[in-house]
Amino acid sequence: MDQGLIPAAEAINKLIQEFNKLPGIGPKSAQRLAFYLLRAPEEQSKLLAESIFSLKQKISLCSTCFNVTESDPCPICRSDKRDHSQICIVEQPQDILALEHTGIYSGLYHVLHGAISPTEGIGTEDIRIKELLNRLQDGSVKEVILATNPNLEGEQTAMYLSRQISPLSIKVTRLARGLPFGTELEYADDVTLTRAIEGRQEF
């Protein structure tokens, strides 16, 4: 056997292993991606490697809304074109991408980074609830839209937040119409999501 093949094979195996650790990528897909990159122009691997590297270097969390950002506060929190009297509560930063894509919401956001889940040991202290309640203290927010996922954890979280926010005399609404129970926001299509925002109900 040609000795020169061994390091190359090791490099491929290593990449396959790393791809395999990513969500939604099984061993077959990991293999396909690794061999694709092997054939693709070197520039493509370089760009991919650089974007993965700069992800951790450049991206941090907005200290106001906890969305991912390259500058703090993030462009949404900083913008005077956004309605600062509305805050939409989401579980993950990618939910903001989904909502922004609909183009009909112009308020601010708050990212909880999770949902309350007693079965997984995630309590109210483990997600950004305290920070949200702090944001609501100055009276400038008139409406909070609960856009947690329409599943068990999302519902529990929405119920808890509603109980915490209601005494502050802030209107609390919840995305409703159109979103099937058990789904995740980031996978909802634009039409469904648009209807859900427009049809939000008092919670």
- Least distance (Å) from Zn ion to the CB of residue 8? 45
Region 10-39 residues binding Zn ion, contact defined as CB under 5 A: none
* Torsion of the alpha carbons at 142, 147, 150 and 152, rounded to the nearest 10: -80
Region 67-86 residues binding Zn ion, contact defined as CB under 5 A: 67, 73-74, 77
Determine contact, residues 174/203, Cβ cutoff 8 Å.
yes
Nearest residue (CB) to Zn ion, 16 versus 76: 76
Determine contact, residues 151/181, Cβ cutoff 8 Å.
yes
The encoded tokens of residue 118 equal 């007693």
Nearest residue (CB) to Zn ion, 62 versus 127: 62
Determine contact, residues 90/111, Cβ cutoff 8 Å.
yes
Q: Amino acid letter at 42?
A: E
- Least distance (Å) from Zn ion to the CB of residue 97? 14
Nearest residue (CB) to Zn ion, 65 versus 146: 65
Region 49-68 residues binding Zn ion, contact defined as CB under 5 A: 62, 64-65, 67
Backbone angles phi, psi at 159, to 5 degrees: -60, -45
**Using the rule CB under 5 A, is 99 a contact of Zn ion?**
no
Tell me the site size for Zn ion, rule CB under 5 A: 7
Q: Which residues would be at the binding site for Zn ion (CB under 5 A)?
A: 62, 64-65, 67, 73-74, 77
